[in-house]
Amino acid sequence: MTDPDDCDALARAAVAAFGRLDVLINNAGVGTAVPSLRERPDEFRGVMDVNLMGAYWMAQAAARAMEPGSSIVNISSVLALVKSYAPQAAYAASKSGLIGLTRDLSQQWSRRRGIRVNAVAPGYFESELTATVPRAELEHFVDQTSTLGRLGHQRELDCAVLFLASDASSYVTGATIAVDGGMSGH
């Protein structure tokens, strides 16, 4: 994700294997939980390189191969919309940047190229990232900040992503859908 040439190669490989490229889900992501006064430049850049820059390089590569009617869905985070309970400056900044990138690419590509670009901002789900947080601490935080008071189920996120990737959302572009159990509305 951090090498534009690798992203180009991946897009070309998808076209070679399937004959076309209709949908890109930008889902690669990393995170840190380092207090901002202790976070090293390489740690901050590493998160930005994958979460924001990598999404940009992959979107560029995919858009070059995509036909009108295609869709890009960027996976942002609820932490682009609300504050975190942990020190996550790099992660929050990268995911906020991804929402801005979504809006800009939508403006550039939706009318001119026929490619819709949207984002999903997931709340807290069972994932590799949340698996590193002590379960009781995570559940308490979600209970206190989410309207639904629970972790999300993967299928709940999948449905939003599938909606944005499909023709069911043919009149939706530049949008960010929060799939966060009401956390951003708190």
List Cβ neighbours of 14 (8 Å cut-off, separation of 6 or more): 21, 65
Q: In what order do the strands lie in the sheet with 71-75?
A: 23-26, 71-75, 116-122, 176-179
Contact yes or no for 75/26 (Cβ under 8 A): yes
- Between CA 34 and CA 95 the distance in angstroms is 16
Residue of 85, 91, 124, 171 marked catalytic: 91
Instruction: Work out the end-to-end distance of the chain between its first and last CA atoms, rounded to an integer number of angstroms.
Output: 34
The C-alpha R_g of the chain, in whole angstroms, comes to: 17
- Between CA 99 and CA 34 the distance in angstroms is 23
Distance (Å) of CA 63 to CA 50, 55, 156, 174? 18, 12, 27, 15
The yes-or-no answer on residue 91 being catalytic is yes
- Catalytic residues, by residue number, are 91
